[in-house]
Amino acid sequence: MKQDLVISVDAMGGDLGPEMVIPGVDISLERHPGLRLILFGDEQQIAPLLEKYPRVRERSELVHTDVWVNMDDKPSQALRRGRRVSSMWLAIEAVKEQRASVAISAGNTGAWMVMAKFVLNTMPGISRPAMAAIWPTLRGESVVLDVGATIGADAELLVDFAIMGEAMARSLFGIERPTVGLLNVGVEEVKGVEYVRTAGRMLRNSQLPIEYYGFVEGDDLGRGTVDVVVTEGFTGNIALKTAEGTARQLASYLRAAMSRSWVSKLGYVLAKGAFAQLREKMDPRNSNGGVFLGLNGIVVKSHGGTDAVGFACAMDIAVDMARNDLVQKISKDLAAKQSLMEFVETGNGAANGAATSIAGEKA
């Protein structure tokens, strides 16, 4: 039997706080009986819930905190008030002190990110961490990063994201050589912004053990053309929310269409099973859970507006990442990169020169 895995949970996170988190943890314990938890938060709110969920009570240690971060606190505010004392801070500290393998919260994303960076620090060689999302595709699922942790990037940062995303895809999907693509506005080498083109050449020419596919476009995300899609956080965040918005829009069209006459309503009733399957496919809860990559520890972010089912899904990801030693995998790959990158940088100077003239032609 595997050793118990310990997850530290910010029980105060999410729009509904402990009322959503504790039932979510309960579902997760049903799926992963070997799990143990450290719950951080307000005892007064959490203790009565533990009475209702004896399985959670049995498998967890509750650490009371007087302070927690609100969903609309500014990260700087949260850090000032919550440092060393808040449920978020302490949940992450448990990972730093190796009392837990991974920390999870459905709380304020900005605050969670800032605290995670503050407590765990970035890995050697990584300038900025990324947030990776799991994107449902026609082929299954892909890892997409960064979806909003960084704003702006350079070529080297994108290469780091590629390395980290690739390691995550290996852990999550259990495939040996996941394919990696760079998000761009066209697939030809001359397309797009300079730093994306440079990153493309670096990945293409490097000796890194990465299956680099090339550029992909926005519609390749849903198609699942590659296992890992790499982009900078501003664009990644907008792409993610655009896809979520489009899915909601089409679901609303479908509802309206199905209720427009009694015949279509009858059709709906007959096709109910099919719709249930469709709903399952489209359910954002099933791909809930972002992972911060590039820190000395694993930190998972659940959607703030999710319910217990969605939170359990984010817990699944946390379990997967921890069981597969994601941080170890990434450190190993980053270490390998250091030696391989010297080679690339030599080649890169020349490649850069060529690119300038190609870029000029693009106009």
Enumerate binding residues for a second copy (CB under 8 A): 74-76, 110, 114, 137-138, 148, 151-152, 183, 185, 190, 192-193, 217-223, 231, 233-235, 237-250, 252-254, 257-258, 260-261, 263-264, 266-275, 277-278, 281-282, 361-363
Is the CB of 1 or the CB of 363 nearer to a second copy?
A: 363
Residue 5 CA to residue 248 CA, distance in Å, equals: 36
Between 177 and 272, whose beta carbon lies closer to a second copy? 272
- Please give the DSSP secondary-structure letter assigned to residue 122: B
As a whole number of angstroms, the distance between CA 56 and CA 46 comes to: 11
- Residues 107, 71 contacting (CB under 8 angstroms): yes
Q: DSSP code of 196? A: H
Q: Residue 36: count other Cβ atoms within 10 Å of its Cβ.
A: 15
Contact 221, 147 (CB under 8 A): no
What is the smallest separation between the CB atom of 237 and a second copy, expressed in angstroms? Answer: 4
**Considering the complex, what minimum distance in angstroms separates the CB of residue 202 from a second copy?**
19
Which of 170, 197 has the CB closer to a second copy? Answer: 197
For residue 74, the minimal CB distance to a second copy (Å) is 7
Q: How far is the CB of 159 from a second copy (least distance, A)?
A: 19
CB 148 within 8 A of CB 109: yes
Three-state SS for 287? helix
CB of 305 to a second copy, least distance (A): 12
The DSSP annotation for 232-261 comes to -HHHHHHHHHHHHHHHHHHHHHHHHHHTSS
Q: Which is nearer to a second copy, 54 or 152 (CB)?
A: 152
Nearer to a second copy, 34 or 140 (CB): 140
CB of 280: closest distance to a second copy in angstroms? Answer: 9
Q: Provide, rounded to whole angstroms, the least separation between the CB of residue 192 and a second copy.
A: 6
Q: Closer to a second copy by CB, 125 or 224: give it.
A: 224
Task: Map residue 223 onto helix, strand or coil.
Answer: helix
* Alpha helices (H) along the chain: 18-31, 43-52, 54-59, 75-82, 87-96, 109-120, 155-173, 194-205, 218-223, 233-258, 262-270, 272-282, 308-323, 326-362
Token pair listed for 315 = 């817990």
Residue 48 vs 186, nearer CB to a second copy: 186
